Structure 1
Amino acid sequence: MASFKDIFNAAEQGNPAAQYNLGLIYRKGEAVPQDDAEAVGWFLKAAQQNHAKAQLNLAWMYQEGKGVSQDDVKAAKWYLKAAEQGNAQAQFNLALMYSKGEGVALDHIEAAKWFLESAEQGIANAQYNLGIMYQDGLGVQKDSTEAVKWFNKAAKQGHTDAQAKLDAMRKALQDEQREAARAVKESPRILPSNAADASSIPDEFPDEKKEALSQDHAKQILVSQYLKAAEQGLADAQYHLGVIYEEGSGVPRDNEKAIKWYRAAAEQGHPEAQNKLEALSPAGHETMPGDTQPPVDGNETTAYTKPDESANALIVVTDELAEQNHDIEQEVPETTATESNPSPEISDDEKGYREAAEQGDADIQNRLGLMYKNGDGVMQNHVEAAKWFLKASEQGFADAQLNLGNMYQEGSGVPQNDAEAAKWYREAAEKGHAGAQYNLGLKYFFGEGVPRDFAEAIKWYQKAALQDNVDAQFTLGGIYEEGVVIPEDPAEAERWYRRAAEKGHERARYRLELMHRHV
């Protein structure tokens, strides 16, 4: 199979996907001497045809001065083109350039805009930087709650700097609460250490009036402290604020506000708040622990880190990163197979699942992993999810092996590791799991965690396609239609597109229509 020749011929004929892949081949020195200048040339050809990942890589080459003179202005130009097409890594790098004034005018509003675009697509470093923007009020209204939200999202993906932020902010609030409770006079919930005493009240008031005013002032101080902490996500503060409004202690009695704060705490799993909410809420209303944010305080600042400053530095887009999950035919899906969800007949009670899982039931271990991964009835926890997927995988449970492979592929709950992802995909693929077979095919196609091997990739695509995996069927259709890594075969392309289209694959239907237009 003359794969390089086929790719080169397709690139010469103007196929942007082939031009992009040829750029990667020269960038990496695969089958040809490594040549950054040649890589830039092919990236440019594809980028000029609006190939987003080629634009991303070309921008990075300009930014780093690889194969071309270093030029931040041109880097920003190409990042913008890719970002406007929805490329998350380009959006992140463009945001960094705006935040530093590199290649573009310094503009925190634009930086925040692009960090948000990237963060919403799951880029952990973008989520972390967006948290910084909200914490410091850079380009956005200063908002500790939003900062917590984005730090939390990044931390759940294993971002250690984001977790450190949350820990520091939580500690600051807890220290403040302990200080407030230290000199309680009448009630551990009412009088803080900085409460006024009777001697601070003007002499024209009688002693009993002085004491009453002193207590009211103390209550107002504590309400203010609890409100600040509650608004920043501290569940205990939300609960106590609910108590304050329910009892009318220092504020007018207000059941609606009490319910609001009980609900906020209950959604973080606060048991007393859940009990209070059940008692106060209208009949039939239920609350479940949700994916709300941990307690934090927003007064620490952190400068943006450059890509080469630490292991947790903000991402630099390399050719390997940009190429991830890119198929030779542009319409081929870039996502991995979906996980298997728990069937409805089993209760989603966490305790019941955990008891069964700890007894070694691999199916339940996998389901418990999915609960933690998706935050289904439990607080979302990717580390805990990976732990249960591993236990089930070690017992040979194919669904769990696919899910564990996806965790390594994404770097969710475990360090990102293509070799480990490929290992677990293979374990499941060899048991006949179609989704894992397709994912393993992707790994061989791009040489991620395994040596690049187009023949092996197509072998696994075919195995998955024969089990009616529509992504594999569509991918095979693209490979046969383009003839980039194997000889072009329109009949085979149509056959696989048709099988995928019959199962509702819209892009397969579109490719069929295009093929018939040219007949």
Structure 2
Amino acid sequence: MIARYLGRDGFLKSNNLWSLFLVFYFSSSALASVKDGVDAYSQQSYEQAFSIFKDEAAKGDATANYYMGLQYEEGNGVSKDPVKAFGFMSEAANHGIAKAQYKLGVFYEEGFGVPVDLSKSAQYYKAAAEQGLPAAQFNYALMLRDGLGVKKDEASAIIFMQRAANSGDAEALNGLGVAYILGRGVRRDAVKGVQFLKLAAEKGDPGAQRNLAKSFSDGTGVEKDERKAFEWYKKSAEKNDKVAQLALGQAYEYGVGVEQDYANALVWYKRSASSDYAPAQYKIGYFYNVGKGVAPDFEKARYWFGLSADHGLAIAQTDLASLLESGQGGSIDNAAAAKWYRLAAAQNMPRAQYQLAVMLKEGRGVERDYAEAILYFRALAAEKVSYAENELGNMYRHGYGVSQDYSAAIEWYWKAANQNDDAAFANLSLVYQKGLGVPQNLVVSYALLKCALSIKPGGEAYKKALNLTLRGLSDKQSMEGEKLSPQICREKSVAVSNYLK
């Protein structure tokens, strides 16, 4: 091209020399401006960088557009503006800037400055991935693995994950490790999986450190070693991995891989909870509820259970409801208790389903509804939950929501008693005492009540009922009852049938 500025004699003409100077001056000036902007940005001189990038972006410079998008995304040197960030990043991506394509993938995935569109997110991740950007290769692999925005393809996911891992990307190495351990997209090979986890963990990836800790804890792909599990959990926890912090708290709570220490357990549960992690919030509530390592404090238990319950954790919803129902840590609020029991019951939490059924039966905190109560009791009884079987016996005995049927009541009581449910034995004692569907027999009644008391020795109501029953027995009958009781406790209804023959 320089020949265009030469005269016929081969010498530069003065006016052409000036033109050539201007070409080189402005080209190098423009390049220097973008470079100066990058240098200013790296030195956190964001306002200076923004001023430079703004001018160059207006001229269509792709790199400047990328950095403009970055500054609007992060709010560095300018007010954060998702829409403008998306606009500038789009311009850079259209010029093939891989990092900008990756960012658009993130924006579309998270709905930053644009509506969520997983299909477009996958397209941009793929475009950047095919240019060799490890972060994009990893994210595109995840979308292929889970079928997000693209057809699920675990084998292709492994290909992109491997490409990212080949670049030394720690997250990708961790992802490969998990894939081999679980057998997702590859033949299951836990030993190989742990090797990848170790590579990522040694690079400091907290997720890999946590997964490696779990492998040592479970003995998956490596010899079980609770001490090493603790050490890797600690490394991850110190990098603020909330799941590892929870696991570390559990290690201290139960003395696994480290000496049991409730105080330290609570410290790590609180660190995990500071990330708004529901399981950790529940554990703190549990410690205050039962007085584990701290003095019991039901008010604090309510607070922590409440935080966890708001995230939808069923056990937290159940325990919060229990405190509201009992009035521990505050006033009794049966309506609120019923609400939380119902939410937990919808997640198939047995204790919540049972307590809600009892409240429905009693009309406490909710409108009385025998039919719905029976539905819950039956569902639990199908899973052989003894206290639900006992309650079904009560419903049939009283005719609550069903036709009164003593035979059905006795059948359900025995099902519960076969699982050593003390209340069922007490109800069977009442049945024989009053002769409800069976011949009245005070000896059998006495023996059954003794069984209930043997299961629950501190049952004051049982003791009182036993003394009242004993007053109606002769010395001979009381001796028969004493002899019969251990047989019934062992053999249940068979012992009663044999005695009554």
More helix by share: 2
Larger RCO: 1 or 2 (CA < 8 Å, sep 6+):
1
State TM-score, norm by structure 1: 0.34
State TM-score, norm by structure 2: 0.35
**Which structure has the bigger radius of gyration?**
2
